[in-house]
Amino acid sequence: MPARSRTPSAEATRRATCDVFKAAGGNLIDIYWAMGQHDACLIFDAPDAETATRMMLAIAQHDNVRSVTMPAFDEHAMRRMAQRL
């Protein structure tokens, strides 16, 4: 009989991450699993940078996590910012 993996399933990881983000005040939109330098890409929404930071710190407490953040803006937000130039 093969040994059971101690690694949580992708669905369990998604549920746990979603719960942590909700508790911190944000919303997990999606997780993309990756190969290479980064293991995953999390797409999430937060009302402000402080909430986003709190969400990432909460995740880091549960696992060996290093993050790279990349704020992204939809077309409407970019248009609004460009109009203010």
The whole-model pTM stands at: 0.69
Q: Is residue 40 part of a domain?
A: yes
Q: Is residue 67 part of a domain?
A: yes
Predicted confidence (pLDDT) at residue 30 exceeds the cutoff of 70: yes
What are the structure tokens assigned to 5, written together?
């993996």
Q: Is residue 4 part of a domain?
A: no
Q: Is residue 3 part of a domain?
A: no
Task: For residue 38, give its domain range.
Answer: 10-83
Q: Is residue 79 part of a domain?
A: yes
Q: Is residue 52 part of a domain?
A: yes
Q: Please count the structural domains in the chain.
A: 1
Q: Is residue 56 part of a domain?
A: yes
**How many CB atoms sit inside 10 A of residue 22's CB?**
12
Q: Which residue has the higher pLDDT, 42 or 67?
A: 42
3-state secondary structure 5-68: CCCCCHHHHHHHHHHHHHHHCCEEEEEEECCCCCCEEEEEECCCHHHHHHHHHHHHCCCCCCCC
Q: What digits encode the pLDDT tens for the residues 54-81?
A: 888 888 887 677 788 888 889 999 999 9
